[in-house]
Structures are given as C-alpha cells and as structure tokens.
A = this chain, B = another copy of it.
Amino acid sequence: MTVTAITGATLLDGTGGAPIDDAVVLIDGQRIRATGRAADVPVPEGAAVVDARGRHVIPGLMDANAHLCNSLPDTLIRYHGRLEELIEEASQVALRAGVTTVFDTWGPLRQLLAVRDRIARGEVPGCRSFVGGNIIGLDGPLSPDFFPPGELLAPSTREAVNADWVHGVGADLLWLTPDGVRERVRAYAETSGADFLKYASNSHMGAAIAFSAPAQRAIVEEAHRLGMTAQAHTISVEGLRMEIEAGADILQHGNITGNVPIPDETIASIVDGGIAVAALVPTTRYLDWIARHGHEWHRTVGFTATTDLNNRRLIEAGARLLLTVDGFVGPPKALEHPYFGMAGAVAYSQHLGEGHFLWLEAVIERGMDPMEALLSGTRYVAEAYGQAADIGTIEPGKRADLVVLGGDPLADVQNYRRIEAVMKDGAFADLDALPVHPVVTAEEE
C-alpha cells in the first residue's frame, strides 16, 4: 500500500496544540502514520506527495446531529422503498462539504446501516456515519409526534413509512413501567445494529416529559451495558435536567429550553460533569429572520432569545459544545413546506452541507475561541461519542480523515468554506464527482 505525504501546509491537528507550520502528514493506507514539522518527519521514498503549501489542514469535520434521510412527508412517501438512495446522496453532500463523519440521530435504521456499511466498504463514496435509528419513545414521521397525516393517506402508507423508523421502540413505550421500557430497549439495543441510543426526554415539540426518571435511567443503563453512548432529545429545563441525572453522555440540542433559561445549577452540572452539549447555535442573522418570518414553534421554542442566551452562557461557562446542524438535504423546493416557513430559512442553519459553516460562524460570533470552535467540530464530537481512538484528530494511528483549506480557519471562520480537498480513510474524495447519484436533485429537474 502506498504512502501519501501532505507537505507544506499549516497543520491544525485537532488536539488543540499550536498550529504546525510547514507540516508533513504521512498517511499509510487508511490511517495516519506520522505528523510533524517537515524537519522532523521525513517523507518516505516512493510516497505520493501532495504539495499543500499555503494551505491549512484540519481534521475532517464532524456533525453531532445529522439526518441523512430527510423526513418530509412528500419525500418519504415518494421514496418509500428507495430511502437508501436519499441517504447515499446526503452522505455525499456532507463529504463534499468537508464533513467526514456524521452521527445520524433519527432516521430509518435498516437503510442507514446499509449505506453506512456500503460506504465503509468503499463501494460508494460518502461520509462515515454512526446511526442511532429511532428516537426511543417517539413514533415515526407520519404520526402526531411529527407530521400528523390526517385523512390524506391510506393507513397502510402511513404504517409502512413509520415502520422504517419505529422498530419496536415507539410511542407505546410511554405507557410502560421502567422495567417494561428496559426490556424493549434492551431488545432494540442488542439486535437493531444501532451504534448509539437516543431517547425522548421531552416529547418532540412540547414541554411534556416523555419518560419518567427511572425509565430514563433504564434506557441509559441499557446503552452503557452494551458500551453504547446515550443521548436524549430535550427542549425544556426539566427534560434537560432529567437527562443529565439519567447519565446521558450527550445532551442533544441541550441549549433549547423554550423561553426559560437553563438554571445555573444545570450549567454547572454540565460543565463539571464534562457532558457534551450538541448545541444548535443560530447566527444573529438567522435569529432575526426567525423572529420575523419563522414558524410558530421556531419563534417561540426553538430559536428564541433564550436559545441565544443559553448558547452564550454555555460558551462562557466553558461547556463542551459539539457542532450540531440537526440538518438534512431537502429537495429544492421542500423548504416551502409550511413548517419551514419559506425557502432559505432552513438553509441558514439546518441544511446538511451548509449548516456546519454557519454553526462555526455563530459560535465565533458568540465569543468562542477559534481553536475551541475547531475542536467542537472535530475532537470533541469524537470523544463525546466514544470514537476518539479512531477519529477526531490528525494523529498517528488515527483514521486519515482531513480537509485541506485554502485559508486559515482560525483567522477567519469563512475559510472553512475554502475546501480544496477532503480525505476520508486515507483516500481523497473526488469532489467534482459528488454527489454521484443526485437522486433528489435529478428527479426534481
């Protein structure tokens, strides 16, 4: 197997250490062999040398909350039975934008796993993914938890679509005892193939609590028993507190609490516990847009002034934030759906392939140190998800996931957009060829 050497660039290796100028990064197969100053790391004979002078090299970016399969009713009905095509395409959209790893926190499990594995085997290009499957305690997309279908659809259609999500851990779990919940979650955790568990601490769109404290503990215990990380969906201060008490590893959009600011004690428990907050961080520009045009839920719960205050306080308190887009790839006009208000809105913040740039801009805008921002989008995500042995930094032994940028992202956050090359598992992606199967796009045309 050939060795590749990337030479001449400034290396931001994701460890948080000082930038290394005129660096050499040696890649051997799928992994990093060595990194360091050119003086310290000789390029082996026969190595393929990539001259990256004037560039910056960073670890492949990581998104702590992605949805590779979009969940718009139209799309789900249309692509039922072909969801893998959507997932492949989205995986490629992400990769092209420098995101080499995503954690898919809600989607059709079987199809996501199939694409995850196909990409891992190198059969198709795309970002690496880890898959959570269903949000335990919620029903599928065409249900009251998401898009109530009314009487427009035949029940069989609704059920067929939802079945790809639910896998035995849907809303009926809310009726059970903690033991009953544990039993169902155990079966799911052991047999589904999911990489991590996500459950509903709050109901999807409201402040009600989905699972009682002992039920939440049961879920987290089942995850940990199998060595999986656990996280919860929360949107209220109590949902958030309960999730922390239950022992969750990652607080999914833990910064969203409607109009009630996160209590100081909760922030302290986050910081002291070193618990990662996968935070939705809107730019000021987007907050303004939402205030004027946003759907009611976005205006009053999701992207409020309190959301922004929470983000600023979490950053100031030194909480460990994770880059989180909570985004998907929608068909061109999908964002006209009433829920989104109008085209363009979501593109500002929750669009896969775009939202991570905005996230990095927004955290900088809110006072985060640029190096911390970089780690929030790389090493911290890997660590929070227990994947730090393999990914998240450019260090010997790690998987060779990296992005070559045309400018210094620490100097100007817009430089994250100046992507010149993306390597995953030691191979450069053919950016011009991505997405190679533009399913959605092609059909819309």
Interface residues of A (CB under 8 A from B): 72-74, 77-78, 80-81, 147-157, 171, 174-178, 180, 203, 206-213, 215, 236-238, 241-242, 257-260, 263, 331-339, 443
Contacts and interface: CB of A to CB of B under 8 A. Distances in A.
A375 B138 CA distance: 43
A175 B210 contact: no
A153 B334 CA distance: 9
Nearest to A338: B151
A156 B333 CA distance: 6
A238 B260 CA distance: 26
B260 A177 contact: yes
B175 A336 contact: no
B212 A238 contact: yes
Given A210-B209, A212-B209, A154 B337 contact: yes
A255 B245 CA distance: 30
A117 to B, nearest CB: 24
B81 A443 contact: yes
Closest 5 CB pairs of A and B: A156-B333, A174-B207, A209-B209, A208-B208, A74-B157
Given A148-B152, A156-B333, A209-B211, 5 more contacts: A77-B77, A151-B338, A176-B260, A208-B209, A208-B210
Contacts of A339: 151
A266 to B, nearest CB: 9
Nearest to A262: B177
A149 B152 CA distance: 6
A366 to B, nearest CB: 23
B212 A174 contact: no
A208 B203 contact: yes
Given A77-B74, A78-B78, A78-B80, A333 B155 contact: yes
